[in-house]
Amino acid sequence: MDRSRYLKKIQGVFYEESTITLGTGHTQKTQKVKNYCRAEQVDEEKVKLTFLGNDGNPTGIVIELPYDEFLKRYTLDPNYRVKSKEEAEHDRHVAIAEKHRSRGELFSAEFEYTNALKVDPESIRANFGIGTLYMEMGDTAKAKAVFQKLSEIDAIFEEDNKHIFNEFGIELRKANMVEEALANYLKAIAISPSDEHLHFNVARLYYDKKDLDSAMEWLKKALEINPHFRDARNFEALILRETQAHSARKETAGEGEAPEATDDPDAALRRRRLEAGQDATPEKAPPKR
């Protein structure tokens, strides 16, 4: 193949992603890592790779790879930049916090999240972590304060942060904090109005409030966006059955008499199945590097 037209085209920072294994036995886990290098095409057949350390400086390791092999293994990172000392410190505190949290060491996790927020008070990751941690600890007052703070951070309205509001909405719904949950879902929808999963989650919230009309309204919005959204179709059918059953009970009770309050067993079963299911997950925005 004639590669002369590609000569000097490859130039910039690239990475190769690999998987490493940490620990042994039941503590063993895998982790993906990225090895960065500065690449420059030498000629039609070879590319020179100068590997970079965590500080962005050359490590002294320089190799040459065949052109085809390089293209198979390496990916351009046009947004590559070296983290500042403060960013690295913030990430270290958050990583330690998440490790403590996975072990059930909640107060230690709170301490590390707080340290991360001292470095960067507007950190989305640290605020999100400590907010959901407070929910887990049952401290709704502190959680509300974090949610309020997050809503005032300008960066939160970037596309990929809709997941933050969605996750908060889920946690708040489970804690029966309905108004707060709805506010977070609506913020997520303001960021990404065409995401059917977010509309589905609002419908579920109204369903839990026994407001079937509002639940149906939001489901219709989800289905307008994606008519093939199967979970929404199933949810819609459930609400229609419950609405029809309620109307039938009302007619049986007679005009002017209160309908029987007890739900039919099938409806109760369907609700339990819904409650056992998962909330919808919004589509992910392209990852930022």
Query: Is the Cα torsion angle 94, 95, 98, 104 positive or negative in sign?
Result: negative
**So what's the pLDDT on residue 125?**
84
Distance between start and end Cα atoms, the chain: 33
Residue at 201 is within a domain? no
Structure tokens at 132: 């959901």
pLDDT band, residue 162 (cuts 50/70/90):
confident
* Domain closes at, from 76, 98, 118: 76
pLDDT in tens, 126-149: 998 898 899 889 898 898 888 778
pLDDT band, residue 220 (cuts 50/70/90):
very high
pTM of the model: 0.56
Residue at 143 is within a domain? yes
Alpha carbon distance 168, 218 (integer Å): 19
CA 145, 101, 89, 91: dihedral to nearest 10 degrees? -90
Structure tokens at 186: 């609506």
65, 135, 149, 167 from 152: Cα distances, Å: 49, 20, 5, 17
What is the domain extent for residue 123? 83-193
Residue at 198 is within a domain? no
What total number of domains does the chain contain?
A: 3
pLDDT in tens, 252-264: 765 555 444 444 4
Residues 92 and 188 grouped into a single domain: yes
Helices (H), the chain: 67-73, 85-102, 106-119, 124-137, 140-151, 162-174, 178-191, 196-208, 212-225, 230-253, 265-276
Neighbours of 21 (CB within 10 A): 9
